[in-house]
Amino acid sequence: MGETTEAVPGLRRLPWRTESGKPAYLDTSDPNSLLSLMADSVENQHIVTAETVLGLVRPMYAPEARLTADEALFMLRRTAECLSDVINVARMRGERLGTADD
């Protein structure tokens, strides 16, 4: 986590990586191309998943909740995964707007 990826001017960074683990990029100016639409769908799914996980974990950290250590660790891991994905989506969208900030 905390890994930053450089934006490549003129290319769209995709929400998945290559087989070798490097960032994947798309060279197109067509926002309706098949890969652009697929990337949009994956980004949106990351957001929906994060919203779902947040809705599930909120009751788990209420004052009256009694979690085991394993349950708390599971909740923390899923929440961290979702947060990482959503931060990545925000950065990619910022890159496309030309407002990417480190």
Check: CB of residue 89 under 8 Å from CB of residue 15: yes
3-state secondary structure of 62: coil
**What's the whole-model pTM score?**
0.80
* Phi, psi dihedrals of residue 64, rounded to the nearest 5°: -85, -5
Q: Look at residue 1 in the predicted model and tell me its pLDDT.
A: 47
Check: CB of residue 25 under 8 Å from CB of residue 11: yes
Residues 27-75 pLDDT 10s: 988 889 999 999 999 999 999 999 999 999 998 888 888 889 999 999 9
For the chain, give the percent of residues with pLDDT over 70: 91
In the chain, the amino acid numbered 66 is: R
